Amino acid sequence: MSYLNKLPLVTLMCLAAPLVANADLPGKHPAYLHALSDLRAARWMLEHRPGGAAVSGEEDVAITEIDQAIGEIRKAAVDDGKDIHDHPAVDVPSDNPGRLHRALELLHKVRQDVSHEEDDPLTRGLRDRALGHIHAAIVATKTALSYAAQPR
């Protein structure tokens, strides 16, 4: 094969090399994907746990805040080039009393995952808003736990 016949193949390989090299890289903040997965799990645990009116009211507040945080993190993940549909499965406790505690653990983990340094000003604002919603979800979940612990 002559040099001229190989030129298109070599050119194609040179153009494709950076794409192949970056195909498996997790991006700047793979923690966003873990945070989304944990937020979804925490939301499910709060939504599928029977409780009294006071507990359910606080759970509703936490779910709303989680939904807001998911929206902000999804925007930040998309801006970061992440596949927002790629998330690992999370273990869900089968007992109802443990769900509030597990949801709270996950929310604390999400706060830690999302709190990383952010260079991009647009993504920084999204992260900061998400952290505000995560904090509000933590407060509501703690309040629900205190109501659940009270004798009926």
- pLDDT at position 27 is 46
- pLDDT at position 68 is 95
Q: Report the alpha-carbon distance of residue 26 to residue 42 in Å, rounded.
A: 23
With tokens 């949801």, the residue in question is: 103
Cβ 39 vs Cβ 106: under 8 Å:
yes
Q: Where are the domains of the chain?
A: 27-149
- Where does 23-120 have alpha helices with state H? 31-47, 53-79, 96-114
What distances in angstroms separate CA 123 from CA 72, 77, 89, 103, 115, one per listed residue?
Answer: 9, 8, 25, 25, 12
- pLDDT at position 20 is 41
Number of Cβ within 10 Å of residue 101's Cβ equals 15
Q: What is the mean pLDDT of the chain?
A: 75
List the chain residues with pLDDT less than 70.
1-30, 50-51, 78-97, 152
Question: Hey, what amino acid is at 93?
Answer: P
- pLDDT at position 124 is 86
- pLDDT at position 133 is 96
